[in-house]
Amino acid sequence: MTERRQVNIAKSARTTVFYIFVIGIAAIILLPVYFIISLSFLSTREAYTYPLPLVPALNTHFELRHGERGYLLSVYDRVEGGYESVLDTKDSKKMSEYMRYQLATPVTTEDLEQQFAKLESQDVVRFSRRRNLLENYQSFFRVSGYKAVPALIRSLQICALTIAISLSVGGMAGYAFARYTFRGKNLLKFSTLFVRMFPGVAIAIPMIKILVGLQFYDRPIGLSLVYSIGNIALTVWITASIFMGIPESLEEAAQVFGATKARAFLRITLPLALPGLAAAAMYSFLGAWNETVSAIILTQFNPTFSVIVYQTVLGAVGQVNLAAAGGMAMALPTVIFTFFIRRYIQQMWGGITI
Amino acid sequence: MATLTLSHITKRFGRNVVAVKDFSLEVQDREFLVLLGPSGCGKTTTLRMIAGLEEVTSGTIEIDGVDVTDLPPRRRDVSMVFQNYAVWPHMTVYENIAYALKLKRMDKQTIDRIVRESTAMTKIDELLDRYPSQLSGGQQQRVAVARAIAVKPKLFLLDEPLSNLDAKLRVATRTELKAIHDKTEATTVFVTHDQAEAMSLADRIVIMKDGEVVQIGSPDDVYHRSVDMFVGDFIGTPPTNFMDVELTVDGGESRLVSPHFDYPLDPETASKLKDYEKKELVLGVRPENIVLVPEEDAVLSAECLVSEPQGSHQIIAIELGDKIVKIVAPAYPKIGAGETVHLTFKRDTLCFFDEESGSRICE
């Protein structure tokens, strides 16, 4: 009996250690993500308080008194537990702007005038207004001078083009590597990876020269060509292993039963390869979406979204919350795309393993 | 229902590898023909050339008198069962069979009727909504067979369809395949490396070695009248026993002499062998043609090395020189290892082979 108890203790000890480990890893990965998400919703004032609030306030509590220069505005501080004076002015427009940009709380000048009027009869006026949680995101797009939206569309175009080019060229090459034997096959397969050895910055000048010659400079097609070069190599390797995993006889069977080679490929092999192709598409998307260095060099008046984010983050000194919002705007599409394509990767026809 | 004619088919891979060499064959209407040989002998390549999945280097293939040598697989009107079944994993059983029929441009009602017919014949009519991953190997094999018979082809090609099944299921499925062939009467070409499978299924067996035909004949032909030592060794379990002997003629009497025995030949056999006097010969005897006899009638006596009881019979192994000779004996009396057995050969069952070429002498 004691032996069995010892075994049980050892077993639960192992389980405990395992979960501590897993939770530890999850915390290491998730905490920074959590901080950047929460930071992107904080007001500028909140973002520079210490300790940093874990969640943004939903309402801002204001207090108005008579001040030396006009009206003294105080804001309730959750950490200190009291009101702290922040601004002394009689200009309602200036106060409204301060409330909006620093406190992320939209209060109209009319509203403020009414509150000022109340001070005629009483010493202190207290009121609360709802926070605009998306203020940082709105101001991110405002600060980037409305270049962000066209840049976002441009980036999506580049991603789509990159996926189309690398998946069609790389997929076809992958199929050939999987199905046919020819002289120099292995060398050729390895050589697809050689192009990835060159850092984009190192070969930027010749790239610009070539793209200008093609009249592709500063256009989505130019950047997607550059991104495709690296992605084709990855796609070749991913799709080749996928096609190798699909028995050739499946296609041959379709041919024997009356399909042309093309039809057999489209109806039999392609659906079976879809999860692998989706994975390859995901890699292409992430690569093209996140790339910044080449994009800075190879664009001039038509930057990509990553360039805009980069510039905003650089320019947003003293506004770490704005930088966080930019980062989130950058990360969100990749998260959505990965989530969407995850279904295909997990898709297994009735739990089939090929 | 169709005939198949292969004339001087040759298949090369690259410059040096000859997979099939000058292969000629005629398959009759409704015949069940088996291509048999060890792995790498070119039997699967031959089948794939018939299906159109492999290009022919030289020679012609005719189905029903029509030259199909350069036609793609889809225009040959054949169907095939693959070694790994090649059941499409993203389609249900029903869809697998229906898709093959749809490729033949049949309408929905006809497809439905044929799917139900063919699945009933192969006893998988209760699995129609399952995906291949939810089926056992044997069931997948039935799907492949059902799909192949559903299209009612001129030619039915099977590439080692039973080799991935376990031994018991293989024997059971073998019987069913034969029954299905009797029902459909489709001209069938069946590839296997298992001689027992070939023997039990075939109308005719084509034995291949290194890309060439060694012998074409009925199961009885290849068993009892093996054309050379390769066939004698390949067919039958246990295979033919080979013993080196010398033919000596002493007066009118011919004898087979070896260090282990001295066997008098009947005059008829002796006359057939007269060119081989004083020459080395190989005597081939099937294990069931060596019989246990009382000591006084024995041609040779030896100590039993191992005996393998098989229920219906027992296999006795003896050692002659450096060769093991196997004998199929009745189950009783039981013979144990170390016991001395007295043996003789059955008359008219002996085969002789040329020692150098390995081919059969006389008849």
Q: Give which of B265, B228, B233 is closest to B250, Cα–Cα.
A: B265
A261 vs B contacts (CB less than 8 Å): 72
Q: Give which of A112, A115, A133, A137 is closest to A124, Cα–Cα.
A: A115
Q: Give which of A50, A255, A284 is closest to A168, Cα–Cα.
A: A284
Q: Tens digit of pLDDT for each residue in B271-329?
A: 777 777 667 788 899 999 999 999 888 888 888 999 999 989 999 999 888 889 999 99
Q: Tens digit of pLDDT for each residue in B3-27?
A: 999 999 999 988 888 899 999 999 9
CA distance A286 to chain B (A): 29
| A226 within domain boundaries | yes
How many structural domains comprise chain B?
2
B31: its two tokens:
């015949």
Q: Are residues B116 and B229 in the same domain?
A: yes
Q: How much is the pLDDT for A1?
A: 55
CB pairs under 8 A between A and B: 76
CA distance B81 to chain A (A): 8
Q: Are residues A196 and A235 in the same domain?
A: yes
Q: How much is the pLDDT for A351?
A: 38
A8: its two tokens:
């049980």
A350 vs B contacts (CB less than 8 Å): 130-131, 133-134
Q: Are residues A284 and A222 in the same domain?
A: yes
- Domain span at residue A178 reads 141-351
Give the chain B residue whose CA is nearest to the CA of A268: B88
Mean pLDDT over residues B322-350, rounded? 88
Give B359 or A20, the one with higher predicted confidence.
A20
Whether the Cβ atoms of residue A200 and residue A293 lie closer than 8 Å to each other? yes
Q: Are residues B29 and B174 in the same domain?
A: yes
Q: Tens digit of pLDDT for each residue in B67-81?
A: 999 999 999 989 999
B:40-69 residues touching chain A, CB 8 A cutoff: 51-53
Q: Are residues B147 and B219 in the same domain?
A: yes
The yes-or-no verdict on residue B222 having pLDDT over 80 is yes
Angle at which helices A305-315 and A148-179 cross, to 10°: 130
Whether the Cβ atoms of residue B237 and residue B195 lie closer than 8 Å to each other? yes
CA distance B284 to chain A (A): 42
Query: H-helix or E-strand containing A163?
Result: helix A148-179
Query: H-helix or E-strand containing B90?
Result: none
Contacts of A89 (CB under 8 A, 6+ apart): A67, A69, A70, A71, A73, A95
- Whole-prediction pTM: 0.77
Q: How much is the pLDDT for B363?
A: 54
Whether the CA torsion A319, A324, A327, A329 is positive or negative: it is negative
Q: Are residues B315 and B216 in the same domain?
A: no
Q: How much is the pLDDT for A353?
A: 44
Peptide bond just before A275 cis, omega within 30 deg? no
Q: Would you give the distance in Å from CA A18 to the centre of its chain?
A: 31
Q: Are residues B148 and B205 in the same domain?
A: yes
Please, is A335 exposed, middle or buried when counting C-beta atoms within 10 Å of its C-beta (0-12, 13-18, 19+)?
exposed
| A260 within domain boundaries | yes
Query: H-helix or E-strand containing B265?
Result: none
Q: How much is the pLDDT for B297?
A: 85
Give the whole-angstrom CA distance, residue A236 versus residue A212: 28
> What is the edge-to-edge ordering of all strands in the sheet holding B340-345?
B290-292, B340-345, B300-309, B313-320, B323-330
CATH number at residue B29: 3.40.50.300
Q: How much is the pLDDT for B163?
A: 85
What phi and psi, each to the nearest 5 degrees, are found at residue B153? -80, 165
CATH number at residue A239: 1.10.3720.10
Contacts of A290 (CB under 8 A, 6+ apart): A306, A330, A334
A202: its two tokens:
């190192």
DSSP 8-state code for residue B72:
-
Decide if B51 and A257 are in contact by the 8 Å CB cutoff: no
Whether the Cβ atoms of residue A51 and residue A75 lie closer than 8 Å to each other? no
Q: How much is the pLDDT for A352?
A: 41
Angle at which helices A320-346 and A135-143 cross, to 10°: 100
Q: Give which of A138, A133, A2, A147 is closest to A58, Cα–Cα.
A: A133
B22: its two tokens:
């000058």
- Domain span at residue B257 reads 241-361
Angle at which helices A305-315 and A270-290 cross, to 10°: 30
B156 vs A contacts (CB less than 8 Å): none
Whether the Cβ atoms of residue B308 and residue B355 lie closer than 8 Å to each other? no
Largest CA distance in chain A: 95
Q: Are residues A145 and A129 in the same domain?
A: no
Q: How much is the pLDDT for B278?
A: 65
How many structural domains comprise chain A?
2
Q: Are residues A214 and A274 in the same domain?
A: yes
| A40 within domain boundaries | no
Written as tens digits, the pLDDT of chain A (354 aa) is: 577 788 888 899 999 999 999 999 999 999 988 988 999 998 888 888 888 888 888 888 998 888 888 888 899 888 778 888 888 888 889 999 889 888 888 888 888 888 888 888 888 889 899 988 888 888 888 877 678 888 889 999 999 999 999 999 999 999 999 988 888 888 988 888 888 787 778 888 888 899 999 988 888 899 999 999 888 988 898 888 888 888 999 999 999 998 999 999 999 999 888 888 888 888 899 889 988 888 888 888 888 888 888 888 787 667 888 888 888 888 888 888 888 777 666 654 333 444
Decide if A252 and B82 are in contact by the 8 Å CB cutoff: yes
Residue B228, CA distances (Å) to A269, B354, B356 in order: 45, 9, 11
Mean pLDDT over residues B336-363, rounded? 84
Mean pLDDT over residues B136-158, rounded? 90
Mean pLDDT over residues B255-267, rounded? 84
A271 vs B contacts (CB less than 8 Å): 90
Decide which of B167, B201, B234 is a domain's last residue: B234
Q: How much is the pLDDT for B26?
A: 92
Q: Are residues B73 and B202 in the same domain?
A: yes
DSSP helix/strand/coil, B2: coil
